[in-house]
Amino acid sequence: MNLICLVKFVPDVEDFKYDVTRNVLIRENVKMILNPDDACALAFCLKVKEKDPETFVEIVSMAPTSVVGHLEDLLRRNFDQATLISDRMYVGSDTYVTSRILARYLEGKTFDCILTGTHSLDGDTSHVPSQVGEALRLHQISNIVKIEETQFKTGWPVVDVDSERFISSYRVGLPAILSVSKDSKYKLPFVKFKNLDLDVSAKIKIITNRELGFRADEVGLEGSLTQVAHTFTRNLQKEDRVFVKTDEEGIDTVYDFLHAKGFI
Ligand X SMILES: Nc1ncnc2c1ncn2[C@@H]1O[C@H](COP(=O)(O)O)[C@@H](O)[C@H]1O
Site for ligand X in 29-68 (CB under 6 A): 35, 37-38, 60-63
Q: How far is the CB of 135 from other proteins (least distance, A)?
A: 6
The reply to whether 104 sits near ligand X by the rule CB under 6 A is: no
> β-strands 56-62, 2-6: how paired?
parallel
Q: Residue with the closest Cβ to ligand X? A: 117
Helix axes 95-107, 127-136, angle to 10 degrees: 40
What is the C-alpha to C-alpha distance for residues 117 and 188, in angstroms, rounded to an integer?
A: 13
Q: How far is the CB of 221 from other proteins (least distance, A)?
A: 10
Q: Report the partner that residue 165 touches, choosing among other proteins, ligand X, none (CB closer than 5 to 8 A by kind).
A: other proteins
From edge to edge, which strands make up the β-sheet containing 113-117? 158-162, 140-147, 177-180, 113-117, 2-6, 56-62, 81-85, 204-207
The reply to whether 252 sits near other proteins by the rule CB under 8 A is: yes
Nearest CA-CA partner of 23 in 228, 232, 229? 232
Angle at 263 between CA 168 and CA 14, to 5 degrees: 75
Q: Report the partner that residue 6 touches, choosing among other proteins, ligand X, none (CB closer than 5 to 8 A by kind).
A: ligand X
The reply to whether 176 sits near ligand X by the rule CB under 6 A is: no
Number of residues that bind ligand X (CB under 6 A): 24
The residues that touch ligand X, with contacts defined as CB under 6 A, are 6-8, 35, 37-38, 60-63, 95, 98, 102, 116-117, 119-120, 123-129
